[in-house]
Amino acid sequence: MNVGFIGLGAMGAAMVRNLLAKGVTVTVWNRSRAIVDALAAEGAKPAATLDEVFAADIVLSMLAHDQAVREALIDSGALARARKGLVHVNHATISAGLAVELAALHAELGLGYVAAPVFGRPPVALAGGLNVLAAGPDDAVAKARPVLDLLAAKVWPLGEDPVRANALKLAGNFMIVSAIESMGEAVALGEAYGVPAPELLDMLTSTLFNAPIHKIYGGMIAERRYSPPGFTAELGLKDVRLVLDAAEAKGLSMPQADLAEASLEMLLGGEDKDLDLAALAEVARARVEGR
């Protein structure tokens, strides 16, 4: 099977490298050329145009945000020119509104569409250990499943409505941000009573909160290790805003998401913007300490 892959940021590149290591033929495209050339040196087929990618048997995309998805796939005409019956798997974390639009557009064009956002950082993607959410028409999911299984520790089927996968992804990312916020506040409380952050987080993430998110981000917070980023605070802010937009569309209020948005805006208002999402904990610590 020849897989096309669009969007080669940290996550996309790691996913491609995992597929290449498993013997999959992957044709790759990215707006910036350097990573295309790097992956070509590792065995990928470089594509000069999006149309070359859409000549593959199945196309995966991992783009940063709504605008990138719209520009690369819709405004370029690439989807409109794709052959009927092709399956496109969209791994991007996108707005609920765009998710609805993409599902309708693919159906109109006679293309299979699977929304398949993922949970996991780049090292997990490289190892094929992602949790992949998969929603879309049964036949499209069935065609995508062999590739998704190569990327995933587990594929979570979520029915035929692609929007369900995007909604679950936004909910999950909101919980990640909330976990980082709570760890930052807990560290400030512990330190005020003489318990250092590494000691507090080692104990709590080994017992009550022995989950990957708490352990991974807790280790970064304990060491105050926020660069280079695995998942940037800028992307975290984008996702929190998508959560708030999705909530507003359903008449919901999410106070913790409001707090997270304000905190991330404060974090990114400084000189150093190339920080991991874990740096949100520093804003939480400062708030608790009254700084």
Question: Given 22, 169, 250, 273, which residue is catalytic?
Answer: 169
pLDDT value at residue 156: 98
**According to the model, what pLDDT value does residue 15 have?**
98
Both tokens assigned to 54: 């859409």
Instruction: Please give the pLDDT value at position 273.
Output: 83
C-alpha span between 81 and 93 (Å, rounded): 24
Quick: pLDDT tens for 51-81: 999 999 999 999 999 999 999 999 999 999 9
Checking if the pLDDT of 130 tops 90, the result is yes
Determine contact, residues 170/148, Cβ cutoff 8 Å: no
User: In whole angstroms, what is the distance from residue 101 CA to residue 95 CA?
Assistant: 10
Q: Which fold has domain 166-288?
A: N-(1-d-carboxylethyl)-l-norvaline Dehydrogenase; domain 2 (1.10.1040)
Three-class DSSP category at 13: helix
Domain spanning 2-160: CATH superfamily: NAD(P)-binding Rossmann-like Domain (3.40.50.720)
**pLDDT at 218 > cutoff 80:** yes
Backbone angles phi, psi at 109, to 5 degrees: -85, -5
* Lowest-pLDDT range of 105-119, 150-164, 241-255, 261-275: 261-275
What pLDDT does residue 289 have?
Answer: 86
Rounded to 10 degrees, what is the CA torsion of 177, 180, 186, 190? -170
At 4, give phi and psi (nearest 5°).
-95, 145
- Token representation of residue 3: 């897989």
- Euclidean distance between CA atoms 12 and 8, whole angstroms: 4
Burial class of 287 by CB neighbour count within 10 A (0 to 12, 13 to 18, 19+): middle
The answer to whether domain 2-160 and domain 166-288 are alike in fold is no
Amino acid 250: pLDDT? 96
The torsion angles phi and psi of 261, rounded to 5 degrees, stand at -60, -45
Contact predicate 163/188, CB 8 Å: no
Residue 229: helix, strand or coil by DSSP? coil
Q: What pLDDT is attached to residue 270?
A: 82
User: In the prediction, which pLDDT does 150 show?
Assistant: 98
pLDDT at 182: 97
Q: Using a cut of 0.85, tell me whether the model's pTM lies above it.
A: yes
Query: Is 291's pLDDT higher than 90?
Result: no
pLDDT tens figures, 256-285: 999 999 999 999 998 778 999 999 999 999
Taking the C-alpha atoms of residue 192 and residue 188, their distance in angstroms, rounded to an integer, is 6
DSSP label at residue 83: P
Q: How far is CA 182 from the centre of its chain?
A: 21
Residue pLDDT, tens place only, 7-42: 999 999 999 999 999 999 999 999 999 999 999 999
Residue with tokens 């909160």: 209
265: Cβ contacts below 8 Å, ≥ 6 apart:
237
CA dist 269 and 282 (Å) reads 13
Spatial CB neighbours of 259, under 8 Å, sequence gap ≥ 6: 181
Amino acid 79 reads L
Assess whether pLDDT exceeds 80 at residue 192: yes
Average pLDDT, the chain: 96
215 is catalytic: no
pLDDT, residue 54, reads 97
Taking the domains of the chain in order of start, what are their residue ranges? 2-160, 166-288
